[in-house]
Amino acid sequence: MAKTPSGGQPDGPDGTPQDPERGPEAPRGARGAGGGGAGGGAGDPAGRRVTERRKQYLITPQAAPAGLHALALGAGALAPPPLQSVEQALRNASDIDVVRTVGTTGIGLFGAGMEASAGTLVARMTDDKAQALRQQGQGRLLVERDQHLHLLDPVPRHPTLVNSFTANDGPQFQVSLVVVDKQGARLAGAEVSLFGGLQPAAGQTDENGQVTLTVRGDSPHTISGVYVKPRADYWSFYQRDPDLAVDEPNVIGLHALSNWPPLPGFPARGAMGWGERAMRLDQVPAGLRGQGVKIAVIDSGVATSHANLNRVRAGFDIIGKHPDTWTQDVLGHGSHCAGVIAGADPTFGIRGFAPDAEIHACKLFPGGQISQLIEALEYCIEHQVDVVNLSLGGSGPSAALEQQILRARQAGIACICAAGNSGGPVQYPASSPNVLAVAAIGKIDEFPRDSYHAETIKADVDAQGYFTASFSCFGPEVDVCAPGVAIVSSVPPNNFAAWDGTSMAAPHVTGLAAPMLAHHPAFQGQGRIRSADRVERLFQLIRMSARRVTRSDPTHTGHGMPDALVALGLAVAPGQQQAFEQMLGSLLGGVAGTGMPMAEAGMGGMGGPGGIGLGGLGALGGIAYPGMAGPRPIGIGAFPFNVAGLRPQGW
């Protein structure tokens, strides 16, 4: 295979051209019965030799601090090449296929901070070709795999040890299970899993609510757990070490969502979820509903067929490039997140944090990749979105995506990300220093004890019953935590489901950000100006509003769980008034001009709800405040960006 980075040379050793989608063609002598290829013989069947296929890559100019970029332009040594010239060179290469261009062609958007990326090319090439392109770029081009993204949805993790052993024969038995509700009605479409034996077994109940699973092993005593996940409207079920029969059906009864306090009569009688109540949304004045704020939910779409979501009228299918198919949510994940953020008034179902916010549904799943997420953020920049919910993750950091996240932040867009559900280190993009990372917590007695939600309880339960979710990722990158266990919200077509995940925690904070931007005095007047300062001001106010929950350390919960009343400037957490005033005084920087206590700066009394003197906050807009103590450095201009999108050691 030719290794020249300039392109235009044949790929194969004999000059055989490559198919753009299928990768290198085998030499003609290796095809059919007459060519054996590597290790082949005359008797080999006809076909094409398996070789490396072309993978999708992202190519974008390397962003650099403005000073370095200006120096590079003067010296002519380090300046990244114009994207147009890179694209033309790639199109001239016979072994590279340019798929599309995403992002901006502008430069200098960042002023005295970081220079903008001049767009991103998406191209298919082999790994060898990508490495040659990196070498030719001499650090001026980012060339990285266009990795696939995944929704952050935790799944049962049994067995915990995985090895290469697979049982292909030996003893086996069958277990029949029937899933019903408490009235005996049979439930179709429920997912049933058995753990233990030599390997797990799973299936789905039929129209009679029954499923028969084949388990490899000697007897039912080898089964360590049975898990039932209903399609909608019921709580899940989990039983450790179940007593199962093989000679008759085993009946499992599920609780309806409406039969578990505090949701009596649900969904015909509307309610707020436990997460909204834990964050004191139920005490926020009725008129603070996020009017005028734009929120993007980059996810699997939003089912506008749902009564709680029929106010969602804007969106785009990033994958299918269609203006209407964003309303088709085959996974339900995006609809569930959108319900937490902006579910309609509780005359039916669950009310969200910001029912009057303008929701934009950017459909990225199933099948989303980094390149499409960059496109989705470009949509957000073009439509002047204020807050983006990212309940998703990748296999690792992306420098190209980091540049787009930073560009969005400079445009005044706050990205709020789920920390991840692996139970390990915070996943990317939540690990980015330019987003707000949200971990998940649960609360005892907010779900049936025989549901799978009980398996998420850790030993750090505090006096109020809050605990860190066992699946939640942790680390110094965690900013805050939010309810993410047994979260009831909307799923297609017009139903409800109780799900777990940092995917469910992040929308609680995203939803809270909307009334903050719409109604908090810090974002009125000049405070409305879209900028990175506005984003950091929002993040700091969210952190400042949080109260400690669980008995875990800050790597699991960050600053704690945000309080809606405090976040909106309507109250100060008990016992924290002095600390709150000091933190907010630091945030406001030179507004008062003298560093005086906030009460003297016009803040008025802050002893209780509604006691804030708003007059002293009129000068908040557009201030350039100093960096504050916290888990992340502030100050974009001095931000020591590194191409992997990671914090330097010690952050």
The CATH 2.60.40.10 domain(s) of the chain lie at 172-254
Q: Is the pLDDT of residue 156 over 70?
A: no
What's the whole-number average pLDDT of the chain? Answer: 79
Q: Is the pLDDT of residue 531 over 50?
A: yes
SS3 category, 60: strand
List of residues 6+ apart from 184 with CB closer than 8 A: none
SS3 category, 546: coil
Residue 583 is predicted with a pLDDT of 58
Q: Is the pLDDT of residue 70 over 50?
A: no
CA distance 381 to 558: 28
Of 470, 428, 474, the residue nearest 453 (C-alpha): 470
CB of 437 closer than 8 Å to CB of 419: yes
The CATH 3.30.70 domain(s) of the chain lie at 1-24+51-146
Mean pLDDT of 303-326: 93
Q: Is the pLDDT of residue 633 over 60?
A: no
Of 603, 639, 266, the residue nearest 432 (C-alpha): 639
Residue 52 is predicted with a pLDDT of 75
How far from the centroid of its chain's Cα atoms is residue 405's Cα? Answer: 13
Mean pLDDT of 468-472: 96
Indicate the pTM of the whole model: 0.79
**Taking CA 517 as the corner, what is the angle to CA 515 and CA 523, rounded to the nearest 5 degrees?**
135
Q: Is the pLDDT of residue 237 over 90?
A: yes
CA distance 504 to 357: 18
Residue 520 is predicted with a pLDDT of 95
Tens of pLDDT, residue by residue over 48-60, are 888 778 899 999 9
Tens of pLDDT, residue by residue over 387-414, are 999 999 988 999 999 999 999 999 999 9
**CATH for 172-254, options being 2.40.30.70, 2.60.40.2140, 2.60.40.10, 2.60.40.650:** 2.60.40.10
Of 643, 650, 647, the residue nearest 61 (C-alpha): 643
The CATH 3.40.50.200 domain(s) of the chain lie at 274-571
CATH C-level class of 274-571: alpha beta
Residue 68 is predicted with a pLDDT of 41
* Assigned architecture for domain 1-24+51-146: 2-Layer Sandwich (3.30)
- pLDDT higher for 591 or 407? 407
Residue 168 is predicted with a pLDDT of 56
Q: What pairing do the DSSP bridges indicate for beta strands 201-204 and 314-317?
A: unpaired
- pLDDT higher for 598 or 303? 303
Tens of pLDDT, residue by residue over 609-631, are 333 333 333 333 332 323 333 33
DSSP state of 350: B
CA distance 27 to 7: 20
Mean pLDDT of 583-606: 40
Is omega for the bond preceding 159 within 30 degrees of 0, making it cis? yes
Farthest CA pair distance, the chain: 92
Q: What percent of the chain has pLDDT over 70?
A: 73
Q: Is the pLDDT of residue 634 over 70?
A: no
Q: CA separation (Å) from 200 to 54, 158, 195, 453, 630?
A: 35, 8, 5, 20, 44
Residue 432 is predicted with a pLDDT of 97
Model confidence at 578, pLDDT cuts 50, 70, 90, reads low
Q: Is the pLDDT of residue 1 over 80?
A: no
Tens of pLDDT, residue by residue over 14-28, are 333 344 333 444 343
Give 3-state DSSP helix, strand, coil % of the chain, rounded to 5: 25, 20, 55
Residues belonging to the active site? 299, 333, 503
Q: DSSP letter string over 384-441?
A: T-SEEEE-EE-SS--HHHHHHHHHHHHTTPEEEEE--SSSSBPPTTTTSTTSEEEEEE
Mean pLDDT of 152-161: 52
